[in-house]
A = this chain, B = another copy of it.
Amino acid sequence: MKPINVGLLGIGTVGGGTWDVLSRNADEIQRRAGRAIRISLVADKDVARAKKIVKGKAKVISDGAALVRSPEIEIVVELIGGTTIAKELVLEAIRHGKHVVTANKALLATHGNEIFAAAQKKGVMVAFEASVAGGVPIIKALREGLAANRIEWIAGIINGTSNFILSEMRDKGIAFEQALQDAQSRGYAEADPTFDIEGHDTAQKLAILASLAFGIKVDQSAVYVEGISSIASEDLEWADELGYRVKLLGVAVRTDIGIEQRVHPTMVPKDTAIAQVMGVTNAVTVDADAITPITLVGPGAGGMATASSVVSDIGDIARGVRTAPFGRPTGRLTVSKKAPMQRHEGGYYIRLLAVDKPGTAATIAKRLAQQNISLESIVQRHRGERPHGGDVPGRSSEPVPVILITYATTEDAVRKALAAVDRDKVVLGKPQVIRIEKN
């Protein structure tokens, strides 16, 4: 069979990785795909740099629009990022009957429905394994491997930057700001880290996973988002003491009132597979009706790892695989019925700084009881202090941390109870609230 010609839009880190993987493992990939895969055209603004990489083995141009219209190209690999030019070029490629492989989560989270509808109309593939969790084949697992299942719950550590920061804070007992600086100095965080640490990157990826898992249209705006910048070292220490680890999770879950999609710092039991995932590693756990949870763990970023997923997608297309991008025809995707966050049900970790005067604990307990919140545990002491440590000089004047772990309750009840506690003026500052995920 004749080689399949691939056009590469952008030859930066992932594009360069794709070039390398395809060159290095060419024989192997050809054997698996049944035909040779050849990058015959590269479009990059920096033509000189691109030429240095391809060393005369592919034509290099600066005009992406010319690439997506080139008659010889069968597959367009979009690695330029962003949502403006990338969108135009991808739609133009589809109009010209090209299959598309992309690593662009922002593009799919924002314009996925439009792009997939266009692709379906033209009968071409849009493949995007690389858009979520880098080298981990989670898209394929959801779309095909677990296709027999009614998925109930999916949760992922899908932002390496945040997981690195939380891991460093825990392992070294350092503050958020210092861990962020460490991440920046290692190249794991951007100069402006907002997108990663405030959960927006996770939200985009979650919207894609949720669409696949539940057969709903991609809708980033349906995702509740909370980042990790408010997490203190002491939260991680308390978590440890109470048997948990804190992770920035993207969670999508089927509830009676719709699909709940949320991104927030989460306490997960220490003995779960996801709790063990440290550093920049990614992991996704899927729970479904027919199975106990399945977890995929692996590299979430990096040029070669992401390229591995890009090339896997190219291989599928070369082998003739044709699947609907979200595992079913776009017309069959339902609009997500958004389960509002106030209705979220689960356990909560609450850390309050209580003024140390008689009746404080009773007041807090009363406010929780009024919202029908039951407590699994309550700890009122400085960390490491013995429960009955005797009199400590000056202790009565200092505020004392109070840690509450609730049984399953609702977001709404927790918010109301804490508002009442605030009005009672028995706590100082803003309460820290971290949701617990038991799966």
| A369 close to B (CB within 8 Å) | no
| A323 close to B (CB within 8 Å) | yes
Once the chains are docked, how many angstroms separate the CA of A218 from the CA of B319?
23
Cβ < 8 Å to B, chain A residues 250-282: 271, 273, 276-278, 281
Known pairs A298-B293, A308-B291, A332-B31; A316 contacts B144 (CB<8 A):
yes
The 0/1 profile, CB within 8 Å of B marked 1, for residues 134-158 of chain A is 0111001101111111100000000
| A311 close to B (CB within 8 Å) | yes
Tell me if A32 and B291 are in contact (CB < 8 A): no
Known pairs A290-B304, A296-B294, A319-B323; A147 contacts B29 (CB<8 A):
yes
Q: Give the interface size class of chain A.
A: 35 or more
Q: Which residues of B contact A278 (CB under 8 A)?
A: 271
Q: Which residues of B contact A316 (CB under 8 A)?
A: 144
Q: Which residues of B contact A309 (CB under 8 A)?
A: 145, 148
| A104 close to B (CB within 8 Å) | no
Complex copy number for this chain: 2
Q: Which residues of B contact A312 (CB under 8 A)?
A: 144-148
Partner of A328, one of B21, B31, B296, B307: B31
Q: Which residues of B contact A143 (CB under 8 A)?
A: 32
| A340 close to B (CB within 8 Å) | no
Partner of A25, one of B24, B150, B281, B323: B150
Q: Which residues of B contact A292 (CB under 8 A)?
A: 135, 281, 298-299, 302, 305
Q: Which residues of B contact A328 (CB under 8 A)?
A: 31-32
Q: Which residues of B contact A146 (CB under 8 A)?
A: 137, 308, 312
Residue of B nearest to A297 (CB): B295
Once the chains are docked, how many angstroms separate the CA of A291 from the CA of B282?
12
The 0/1 profile, CB within 8 Å of B marked 1, for residues 309-353 of chain A is 111100110011111100111001000000000000000000000
Residue of B nearest to A298 (CB): B294
Q: Which residues of B contact A231 (CB under 8 A)?
A: none
A244 CB → nearest B CB, Å: 15
Once the chains are docked, how many angstroms separate the CA of A312 from the CA of B28?
25
Tell me if A137 and B141 are in contact (CB < 8 A): yes
Residue of B nearest to A135 (CB): B291
Partner of A21, one of B24, B144, B148, B298: B148
Apart from A135-B291, A137-B145, 6 more pairs, CB < 8 Å? A25-B148, A32-B147, A34-B329, A292-B302, A295-B298, A319-B323
The 0/1 profile, CB within 8 Å of B marked 1, for residues 3-25 of chain A is 00000000000000100011011
Q: Which residues of B contact A332 (CB under 8 A)?
A: 31
| A175 close to B (CB within 8 Å) | no
Q: Which residues of B contact A329 (CB under 8 A)?
A: 31, 34
The 0/1 profile, CB within 8 Å of B marked 1, for residues 80-98 of chain A is 0000000000000000000
Residue of B nearest to A150 (CB): B25
Q: Which residues of B contact A145 (CB under 8 A)?
A: 129, 137, 140-141, 309, 312
Residue of B nearest to A319 (CB): B323
Tell me if A296 and B295 are in contact (CB < 8 A): yes
A214 CB → nearest B CB, Å: 10
A29 CB → nearest B CB, Å: 6
Tell me if B308 and A288 are in contact (CB < 8 A): yes
A331 CB → nearest B CB, Å: 10
Once the chains are docked, how many angstroms separate the CA of A305 from the CA of B136?
21
Q: Which residues of B contact A129 (CB under 8 A)?
A: 145
Once the chains are docked, how many angstroms separate the CA of A237 from the CA of B170?
27
A330 CB → nearest B CB, Å: 11
Cβ < 8 Å to B, chain A residues 349-398: none
| A289 close to B (CB within 8 Å) | yes
Of the candidates A28, A145, A150, A215, the one having the most CB atoms from chain B within 10 angstroms of its own CB is: A145
